């Protein structure tokens, strides 16, 4: 009887006592498909990744990444698979992010390729690492996002285990007292070709008692068509779940990502994206470096595309309001750039220089236009135009832009005419003159069946080969593709005639240096 009475009391109590609600998220948090700051302002990630764990001395990279317009940096850390990043080091990283007004996405790289790559850590081990450095991130919920583990399952792992392992990792993080927004990567080396994350994201999201988890897809060769990119993003929007493109590139060993669609769709949908990566890539993907040797002024073609191209970082990034005055965005446009000066005109290009513009916050880039057609973009006050039409008159002007997307009034215009085009029937041929450990000398002969007044040829080398010195020609490009045009004195070739130029190359192979391909 006493047992029955106790049961009835407990049963009645259940009608009047509610379980406590999930802990309200602090700082950065998700709402539906959106990421919000602590004050409720929408925040869209725009930035890149920096391999801090392998290049701990490259601390100037944070300022460089910010100078090109980023509002976020994703920082590679290790808990032991590589030299561990201690709590003190992580605290320094957070400080560098804050000094440079960047949101700091901290990621543990130890989990990369678990189940397929030797030495990879489990997500549970990744949580152990985060607990060990918790003191460095506690109280930084407005500034720090924790990406629990990078690409935590390879292609050979049992990917259905991703759902359980990711849910368990989130719960452990919350049980350990982490209040931060969490980011979780997809399986299949982050690319989710099995759609495990896509189809189980709702289950994982519900496992977070704070409902403050964002899903990260890495878009490389799996996402090589507009349809694949668009469909994946739409699935998350239909499910009302938050998604970011945590990594992507313009090329990859597993295929050619559609970076134009990735960036355009992310912009139109308010989805964050983080390119891979600032500098220091190896293992055959050196082409993914956005700057050469950590030099902010040395943007590669991928860096130019990511930072200064259409829907790029400089054009679309907005700084987090935690670093300024909420509700008072930068609306002041930069001053007018100077009138451009023209030099080095060829049949397909010209070099422009101009006096830099000024801005109340800072100029992040310039765009060169002919009428309403954009011919190119630069981060400094000069640009070499390429791809122009021979024997064509151009009238161009320059506009400056800042990180908030404000655009200056147009500069004064300047006109020039490209040189006559190269006649058909000119054929390049390659000769290896000499080679040695780490280098070689090449020679190109241009033979023409008809008379020409200028010539151009483009060489493409495989990864690991670079051109370091040229004579009897001018060269543009930074590898793997180099475009050679005539010097001022050898552009004229008579019918049936030829001319030769040479260069020194560097390479990291053995045996005979590879020959270039021509276009």
DSSP string, 391-459: T-EEEEEEEEEETT--BPPPPPPEEEEPPPPPPTTEEEEEEEEEEETTEEEEEEEEEESS-BS--EEEE
Please answer whether residues 440 and 474 qualify as being in contact, where contact means their C-beta atoms are separated by less than 8 angstroms: no
SS3 285: coil
Q: How far apart are CA 383 and CA 456, in angstroms?
A: 19
Please answer whether residues 167 and 182 qualify as being in contact, where contact means their C-beta atoms are separated by less than 8 angstroms: no
Please answer whether residues 376 and 302 qualify as being in contact, where contact means their C-beta atoms are separated by less than 8 angstroms: no
Q: How far apart are CA 192 and CA 61, in angstroms?
A: 30
**Beta carbons within 8 Å of 330's beta carbon, 6+ residues apart:** 360, 361, 402, 403, 404, 406
Catalytic residue among 151, 259, 319, 344: 151
Please answer whether residues 446 and 426 qualify as being in contact, where contact means their C-beta atoms are separated by less than 8 angstroms: yes
Q: How far apart are CA 464 and CA 438, in angstroms?
A: 10
Please answer whether residues 429 and 518 qualify as being in contact, where contact means their C-beta atoms are separated by less than 8 angstroms: no
Three-state secondary structure string covering 458-489 = EEECCCCEEEEEEECEEEECCCCEEEEEECCC
Please answer whether residues 289 and 307 qualify as being in contact, where contact means their C-beta atoms are separated by less than 8 angstroms: no
Q: CA torsion angle for 505, 516, 461, 313 (degrees, to 10)?
A: 110
- Asked if the peptide bond before residue 202 counts as cis, ω within 30 degrees of 0, the response is no
Q: How far apart are CA 490 and CA 496, in angstroms?
A: 15
Helix extents (H) in 49-195: 61-67, 87-99, 123-132, 134-137, 161-175
Catalytic residue among 37, 116, 141, 247: 247
Q: How far apart are CA 350 and CA 384, in angstroms?
A: 6
- Reported as type and span, the H/E element at residue 238 is helix 226-238
Asked if 247 is an active-site residue, the reply is: yes
How would you classify residue 304: left for phi > 0, otherwise alpha for psi between -120 and 50, otherwise beta? Answer: alpha
- Asked if the peptide bond before residue 63 counts as cis, ω within 30 degrees of 0, the response is no
Residues in the chain: 519
Rounded (5°) CA angle 72-78-81: 150
Both structure tokens of 179: 């209040």
Neighbours of 417 (CB within 10 A): 13
Enumerate the active-site residues.
151, 247
């Amino acid at each position: 009887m006493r047992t029955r009475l106790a049961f009835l009391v407990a049963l009645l109590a259940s009608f009047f006592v509610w379980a406590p609600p999930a802990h309200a998220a602090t700082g950065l948090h998700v709402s539906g498909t959106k990421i919000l700051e602590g004050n409720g302002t929408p925040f869209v990630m725009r930035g890149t990744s920096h391999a801090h764990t392998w290049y701990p001395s490259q601390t100037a990279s944070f300022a460089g990444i910010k100078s090109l317009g980023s509002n976020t940096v994703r920082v590679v850390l290790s808990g032991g698979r590589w030299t561990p990043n201690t709590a003190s080091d992580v605290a320094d990283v957070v400080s560098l992010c804050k000094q440079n007004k960047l949101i700091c996405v901290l990621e543990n790289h130890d989990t990369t390729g678990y189940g397929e790559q030797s030495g990879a850590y489990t997500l549970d081990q990744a949580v152990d690492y985060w607990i060990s450095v918790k003191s460095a991130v506690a109280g930084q919920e407005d500034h720090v996002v924790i990406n629990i583990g990078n690409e935590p399952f390879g292609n050979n792992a049992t990917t259905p285990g991703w759902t359980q392992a990711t849910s368990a990792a989130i719960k452990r993080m919350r049980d350990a007292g982490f209040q931060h927004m969490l980011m979780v990567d997809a399986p299949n080396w982050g690319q989710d070709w099995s759609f495990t994350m896509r189809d189980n994201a709702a289950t994982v999201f519900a496992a977070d008692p704070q409902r403050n988890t964002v899903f990260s897809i890495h878009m490389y060769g799996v996402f090589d068509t507009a349809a694949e990119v668009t469909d994946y993003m739409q699935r998350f929007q239909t499910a009302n779940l938050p998604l970011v493109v945590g990594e992507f590139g313009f090329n990859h060993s597993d295929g050619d990502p559609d970076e134009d669609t990735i960036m355009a769709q992310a912009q139109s949908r308010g989805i964050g994206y983080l390119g891979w990566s600032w500098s220091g890539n190896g293992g055959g993907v050196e082409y993914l470096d956005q700057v050469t040797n950590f030099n902010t002024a040395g943007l590669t073609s991928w860096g130019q595309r990511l930072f200064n191209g259409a829907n790029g970082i400089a054009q679309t990034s907005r700084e987090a309001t935690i670093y300024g005055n909420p509700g008072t965005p930068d609306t002041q446009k930069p001053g007018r750039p100077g009138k451009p000066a023209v030099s080095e005109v060829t049949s397909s290009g010209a070099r422009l220089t101009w006096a830099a513009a000024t801005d109340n916050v800072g100029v992040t880039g310039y765009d060169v236009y002919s009428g309403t057609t954009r011919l190119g973009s630069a981060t400094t006050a000069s640009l070499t135009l390429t791809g122009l039409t021979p024997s064509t008159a151009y009238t161009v002007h320059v506009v400056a832009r800042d990180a908030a997307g404000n655009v200056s009034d147009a500069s004064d215009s300047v006109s020039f005419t490209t040189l006559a085009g190269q006649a058909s029937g000119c054929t390049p041929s390659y000769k290896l003159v000499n080679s040695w450990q780490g280098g070689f000398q090449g020679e190109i002969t241009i033979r023409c069946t008809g008379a020409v007044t200028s010539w151009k040829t483009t060489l493409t080398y495989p990864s690991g080969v670079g051109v370091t010195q040229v004579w009897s020609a001018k060269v543009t490009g930074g590898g793997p593709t180099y475009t050679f045009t005539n010097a001022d004195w050898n552009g004229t070739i008579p019918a049936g005639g030829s001319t030769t130029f040479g260069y020194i190359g560097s390479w990291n192979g053995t045996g005979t240096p590879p020959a270039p391909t021509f276009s």
